[in-house]
Amino acid sequence: MKKKIAVVGAGNVGASCAMYLAEANLADVVLVDIIEGIPQGKGLDLTQAGPVRGYNAKVLGTNNFADIKGADIVIMTAGLPRKPGMTREDLLAKNAAIVGSVGKQIKKYAPKSFVIVVSNPLDLMTFHMQKATGFPTNRVIGQAGVLDSTRFRAFISMELDVAMTDIQAMVLGGHGDTMVPLPRYTTVSGVPIGELIPKDRIKEICKRTAGGGGEIVKLLKTGSAFYAPAASAVDMCKAIMNDEKRLLPASAHLTGQFGIKNIYIGVPVILGVNGVEKIVELKLSKGELKALQKSAATYKEHLKFLGY
């Protein structure tokens, strides 16, 4: 039976996810949205691009959650985007209601699926989605670390004028201003960036990475980033569908690792056919560990608003 990936939300992020998924020929795609006509139109448009772009994946646009039945993975992108001057936390109450209702539908129609959450505020919405579905924590994962790391990689490439694909980076912590880029674990073809970039410039690049989403929000004025977030979610889908056992940063549920308990936060994970197969406890310096724990404490505080 052909694999199926459902994308909830047919806005910019969701439609970009559907496009990247189809182009990867990973699975058939179901694009779900509550607005009539939008997912159907985008699904039809993407299907018509198939002969030219060389894919055979079917893209079905629908308003009916029953169409996600049997999906292997559900990518959750629905929610209100951030507007200029709005923090991720401002979105909390509004998007929590959306995530909660979608979680119930996923539980009903795709009870064996993995869920990749992209909706903001990311780490909190991933926690909320896990509670709403009742799925094991290894099957509910937040997409943020891959995005934050890919931004870090892109900025390093701009700085050094080297191939982006030769750069490997690690960014931990919450998907927001408290994220923790790790220059020590960031390399260009195995060469640590500390050998290639002065300390003060690395500090500036880390700062730009932490504000990477906000920078795009300011430039766009009426929306937030979508190409890189969608590409990052699809990268995680590939790791699960193809059992790649990739070591990637993702928002995962901690049970004491790094001295943090019962919260979703960005950490290095092994991603494969069982979702989060392992959380990798890197040896962090005192400063790095403190920054990660501080990031987690911020989100722990926000969980109280959701009644957890």
The whole-angstrom separation of Cα 105 and Cα 88 is 25
**114, 212, 108: which is closest to 156 by C-alpha?**
212
* Cβ(67)–Cβ(30) below 8 Å: yes
Weakest mean pLDDT among 91-100, 205-214, 263-272: 91-100
The whole-angstrom separation of Cα 197 and Cα 156 is 9
Annotation says 128 is catalytic:
no
195-213 per-position pLDDT tens digit: 999 999 999 999 999 999 9
The whole-angstrom separation of Cα 4 and Cα 52 is 22
223-248 per-position pLDDT tens digit: 899 999 999 999 999 999 999 999 99
Distances (CA, A) of 239 to 19, 96, 144, 294: 17, 27, 15, 29
Q: How is residue 162 written in tokens?
A: 């080297």
79-91 per-position pLDDT tens digit: 987 677 777 667 7
**Per-residue pLDDT, 88:** 61
Residue 70: strand, helix, or coil:
coil
**Per-residue pLDDT, 1:** 67
| pLDDT reading at 302 higher than 90 | no
pLDDT band at 306 (very low <50, low <70, confident <90, very high): confident
Domains (range + CATH), the chain: 4-142 (3.40.50.720), 145-306 (3.90.110.10)
**214, 160, 206, 154: which is closest to 182 by C-alpha?**
206
* Cβ(115)–Cβ(133) below 8 Å: yes
Helix, strand, coil shares of the chain as percentages rounded to 5?
A: 50, 20, 30
Q: How is residue 94 written in tokens?
A: 């509004």
Residue 291 belongs to what H/E stretch?
helix 286-303
Catalytic residue among 128, 175, 253, 302: 175
**Per-residue pLDDT, 283:** 96
